[in-house]
A and B are shown apart, each in its own frame.
Chain A
Amino acid sequence: MRKKTFAAAALLAAASLTLSACGSGDSGDSPVAVVSEDTSQKAATLLDTPFEKPDLVLTDTQGKKYDFRKETAGRPTLIYFGYTHCPDICPTTMSNIAVAKKQLPKAEQDKLQVVFVTTDPARDTPTELGKWLKGIDPKFVGLTGGFSTVQAGARTLGISIEPTHKDKKTGKTVSVHGTQVIAFSPKTNGGYVLYGEDATVDDYTKDLPKIIKGQNP
């Protein structure tokens, strides 16, 4: 509840600034930004029917074959579908997980598998993916390969992606990222928890210790 009170105070402050300002500009956060965040809701969505792991055999950042089911069997695993030419959601999602992971004890950090699958394999070569992930967490696994393989794998997790294409109006390249991070249990290998793109560092920090054990966050 503390947070809510604080948000309300900030809102008031912003409102009074608006009233008193005479062309000098506001210095507070905008009211819209404050009220749009509901901190009381849980970020995690527990699935009644967990997803089976997708049958993804792709190429990792070393250029080696990576069989997702085999490599992550019996390990707590997070998967996300995105692309590196993405300034906003993709790096934020991966950075949030990276920062939360660093707060786990070392042994648990080593157990957790974080897998980033590119939705833009034409641009995200193993080298490009490796360079990008190195800036986030060098232990994260980056996978690339045929788009149809990635798309089919994503689809089994309820994630719909389209191939990178040129926007008809602007001629600019448009890529698509997934909207969810899915956590797989080390006990059942099922994908049992979903996180939306608004999940924060704090959400992951709170939940990862449980996911590592296959418990419900």
Chain B
Amino acid sequence: MTRLAPTALLITGALALAGCGGSGSSGDDRPELAVSASYMPQPITDEMAAGFFTVANKGDAKDELTSVTSDAADSVTMHETVGQSMREVKALDVPAHGQLVFKSGGNHLMFEKLKRQLKQGATVTVELHFAKSGPIKVEMPVKSATYNPATGH
């Protein structure tokens, strides 16, 4: 059951509270985000790496992922796959009661000019920034170069 092990997920306190509706004063029309299933396949060189994860939104309002930063690379950009090529995008929607999925062959993060060698077993800290919600920090584990989330190995 290794695949169900927690995927090093961190969420800001503010968001966690909002998720519980603790204050309750601002109504229901807000996104409630949680990140799961994050991983980076072990990169081939220090030039480039990919990153994958899922942002689930249990809230009644949509949000937008607007940027991603990381201590592990000079640049992190978001890409969508269009046919056989990938296109950088400025933002991606996280629909209300839906999710934004980054997975191999689809949306992916592109890390460029890695600051250190990232081997399987390492962890990369990534911060996701949203249009409405506060930033979410994700501890993204580095998996094998051939890691397949469907089989967990």
Contact = CB atoms under 8 A, between A and B. Distances in A.
Contacts of A170: 87-88
Interface in B117-152: 145-146, 148-151
A88 B108 contact: yes
Interface in A1-48: 3, 7, 10, 13, 18, 21-30, 32-34, 37, 39
A151 interface: no
Contact of B44 (A21, A27, A33, A91): A91
Contacts of A172: 88
Contacts of B34: 21, 23-26
Contacts, number: 145
A162 to B, nearest CB: 8
B56 A30 contact: yes
A53 to B, nearest CB: 22
A23 B44 contact: no
A109 interface: no
A175 interface: yes
B104 interface: yes
Given A27-B4, A27-B7, A167-B88, A89 B54 contact: no
Contacts of A200: 146, 148, 151
Q: 6 tightest A-B contacts by CB?
A: A23-B19, A37-B150, A87-B50, A25-B34, A95-B145, A27-B6
Interface of A: 3, 7, 10, 13, 18, 21-30, 32-34, 37, 39, 84-89, 91-92, 95-96, 99, 131-132, 135-136, 160-162, 167, 170, 172, 174-179, 197-198, 200-202
Given A26-B34, A32-B101, A177-B84, 17 more contacts: A13-B4, A18-B56, A21-B58, A24-B19, A25-B16, A30-B54, A34-B150, A39-B151, A84-B48, A86-B86, A88-B86, A89-B81, A89-B104, A91-B145, A135-B44, A176-B84, A201-B146
Interface of B: 3-7, 9, 11, 15-20, 32, 34-37, 41, 43-45, 47-50, 54, 56, 58, 81, 83-88, 99, 101, 103-105, 108-111, 145-146, 148-151
